[in-house]
Structure 1
Amino acid sequence: MTTWHEVEPAGGPVEIRGALDLERTLAGVLPRRLPAWTRAQYPGPFLDAVTMTPSGVRLAFRTAATAVELRLLTTVSPTPDDTRRPDPGTVDLVVDGELTGSAAAPAGNVLWPDGELEAGEPGTVRFDGLASGAKDVELWLPQDTPCELVALRADAPITAPGPHGRRRWTHYGSSISQGPGADRPTGTWPAVAARAAGVELLNLSLAGNAVLDPFVARTIRDTPADLISVKIGINVVNTATFRRRSFAPAVHGFLDTVRDGHPEVPLLVVSPVSCLAVEHHPGPTGAGPDGTLVALGDPDDVAAGALTLTVIREELAALVRDRAADDPHLHHLDGRALLGPHDTAHLPDGLHPDAVAQHRMGRRFTAEVFARPGPFAGRD
């Protein structure tokens, strides 16, 4: 008869990586990717919901178990034009650094566009057939589905993971980096790059909300990191957040705040990847009749200060060049090196990379940034 060893997913031996807040709920623990103090400064419920999506969040522990079960309650949110229950995604199993399994996350709550919550029940994800002997285990949560963690159990004792000794990488970006189009939680491009480079990822990418909010800059400033990257641009155009006059000062302010806490950490500014709709047309943006991205701004307004991706790339390149004269640890990467105009067939809605493109971006980032002579290359 199997003897099960059960622990709470937080407050015990399990380490929850990639989250900066653990909210206690009726069901269990809800990981959030921004700290609790930031909530008072959110502009609305959309950002609050985005912080609950656990892109890059994983449970880490050590065990000799051959079977592991995670009990969790998922919450999916259909889009306004979709009456179907979305797929909650998968949980990935990583053992001693190797991806060894994936299982469908259970159906739970449904939050409908009109605000009605269709309550569900927690379900269980089970992984069998793990190799015997002590090992470090990570369970990566679905990157686009909030998950309340109820319990973790295994057929052997669960203990705290050992120190990993890996460099800590904090990345800030938009939905492109949060990864809704990825095929699995370890398939977002930051996760692909982090695993290939052997670093610990904190993914602070915020779908629709990467607009240089000061509370995010302060979060990065106050969070231990060995490597930092900030990918800036697409949401600035999507929401028409800035004009040319205000954009560069906002970037300076964001970087200044980050530098207050990390004066010598390698800091990489990444400009936008290709997005045909807004390369030369300003935002805001919307969805066209076929659901693909369309620019709603007036191209004639660019001369008066409206922003396009082309303008943003020019501004970021100049800004980093000027700052780097006094900051040798500041670097720039043109985002088209990760996803260029020849890759746009892998943007099903004209904006979000599909699974193929997510993996491609991760590999290219690894080659451009983590490999020598890239800015994040390890030291001998």
Structure 2
Amino acid sequence: MRPAPAPANGRAIGLDVARALAIAGMVLVNFELSLTKSAEPSWLAALTSLVQGRASALFVILAGFGIQLMATAQGDLRRTRVVVLRRALFLAAIGYAFLPLWPADILHFYALYFVVGAVALGRSARGLWIGATIVVVGFLVFGLPVYDRGWNFETLEYAGLWTLEGSLRNLFLNGFHPVLPWSAFLLWGMWLARRYRSGALRGPRPIVVGAAVAVVVELVSRGLIAAAAGDDDLAALVGTASIPPVPGYMFAAGATATAVLLGCLYLVDERDALPHRVLRPLAHTGQLALTLYVAHVVVGIGAFHETGADLTLPETVAWWAGFCVLAAAASHAYRTFFATGPFEWLLRRAGGRSSPRAPVSRPD
């Protein structure tokens, strides 16, 4: 197969659209976690549960995809590693500054994923697979036995988070998005980028395969949970929930995210199937994903915490939909005047320019 054609401006706009979907899903999950007083009606709770742990997995896979594309475009692994590691330091700084305000923060975990990505640059496809397998198995060996340590799962508070032992345990083994096994998503994203550039993952077939794998894993998991006959510990081991991130979850979330990512690339970059009046706001939203991540906590959640209001689940979903519309409109308006979002600009300044001159992406 010949390689997938590159967009005219040098940027895969489908990645921006996928990033917009990822941030929208993460906002929904976090709004429900922070603002909702009851999970009723049950049918709506079942629908919102479909994105729990999946949107953030897509976010991490996109990071791996982007790191690999950066390395390919740059052609200088040493220089790319420096950029990735400097960006990791920036993400760690703002993530830990953000953590007292938002205990479910992913940015400080993201920083360690970037370190893993920097180490993995230049490794063979087999090496990426081996690395992903090691971190998944490493969680089962080292993380799962201590997964409940420090946690109050009813309040989602973590005791000893600011001690050295508690911080390291939370970061690597049993936090919301621990390095073991979540960095496997980043390695998977790097592998996907290589395969996509080679032309092996073009067309609808890989999308269907990813979706089918996700469905099969979910069905098998449900059958095993039913067979567990009320054994909560066994049900957790064979489940697909993100807490704890057991292999069933990793496969289900990874396959779902892969289908969404490849679907966006197929519809946007391969088929040009989205109307531009829809594509442009979505792409611009994805290009400001880091800024919107910060904004959804400071504005989207903070506004209600200041008033002490608790929302019903339908009210939360309505606020989420309104926030997403406002975010897309604001991002689209902002990108009319500025090439980069404020936090994205800081991230690039911290990491240094990854190429001599990067074109501005404005899908027309």
**More helix by percentage:** 2
**Higher CA-based Rg:** 1
**More strand by percentage:** 1
Per the normalisation by structure 2, the TM-score is 0.25
**Relative contact order, higher structure (CA 8 A, sep 6+):** 2
